[in-house]
Amino acid sequence: MGSFSVDKFTSKLGQGGALASLFQCELTSAKGAGSTIGDFAFLCKGVSFPASTIEVATVTFMGRALNIPGNRAAGQLTTTVYNDEKMAIRNHLENWMEMINSHSSNKRATAMKKLSGGGTGTGTPGSYTGSLSISQLAKDDTGATKVYKFMDAWPSSTGEIALSWDTNDIQTYDVTWEYNYWSSPQGGAGST
């Protein structure tokens, strides 16, 4: 066992470590769902990154199970959003989901026919997908230290909002996002 040394430990924790509170999440929605919600970057108060998992494929040889890498598992991205009084972001998301599949008619809007935004993240016309860009920000205000881009994203669930006379908290709700893949220009898995 190595000797205890605070100095050695802190020297390995570059610039004091990344803070969970220093991030920004930007949303580019499907073109047919309405305008891009610029306030999302300010009102998205939390993000839960999906785990990066490669599924195991098991092959048996003479009674012994051998584990080999299979396909990458699809993950879900979850964001937590502050609700403003006009419910602008929630209205936008509900409209987007309504256009993907209507409550009353069980149909997709004609403006939402394409699966992919072409990987551009801009939400091409006719596509029901958009993108989310999540930036880890530096403590010294020099910009992003790492950016994750979730491509061909669409909201699969807009969470409940609990109302109660017992609280004065600002409302929040979770949004679950499906996506086709993620990339990170700074390198590592999924880099582009």
Percent of the residues in the chain that have a pLDDT greater than 70, as a whole number: 87
Cβ–Cβ under 8 Å, residues 117 and 152: yes
- Calpha distance 122→168 (Å, rounded): 37
The pLDDT value recorded for residue 116 is 65
- Confidence check: pLDDT of 171 > 70: yes
The pLDDT value recorded for residue 124 is 63
Region 9-29 average pLDDT: 86
The pLDDT value recorded for residue 7 is 86
The pLDDT value recorded for residue 35 is 55
- Calpha distance 84→100 (Å, rounded): 24
Q: Name the class of domain 21-52+68-183.
A: mainly beta
The pLDDT value recorded for residue 62 is 94
Q: Mean pLDDT for the chain?
A: 86
pTM of the shown model: 0.82
The pLDDT value recorded for residue 163 is 93
- Calpha distance 82→80 (Å, rounded): 7
Name the residue with higher pLDDT: 170 or 30: 170
Four-residue CA torsion sign, 34, 39, 45, 46:
positive
Structural tokens at position 80? 């937590």
Region 3-26 average pLDDT: 85
The pLDDT value recorded for residue 82 is 96
- Confidence check: pLDDT of 85 > 50: yes
The pLDDT value recorded for residue 9 is 84
Predicted confidence band of residue 191 (pLDDT cuts 50, 70, 90): very low
Predicted confidence band of residue 33 (pLDDT cuts 50, 70, 90): low
Predicted confidence band of residue 54 (pLDDT cuts 50, 70, 90): very high
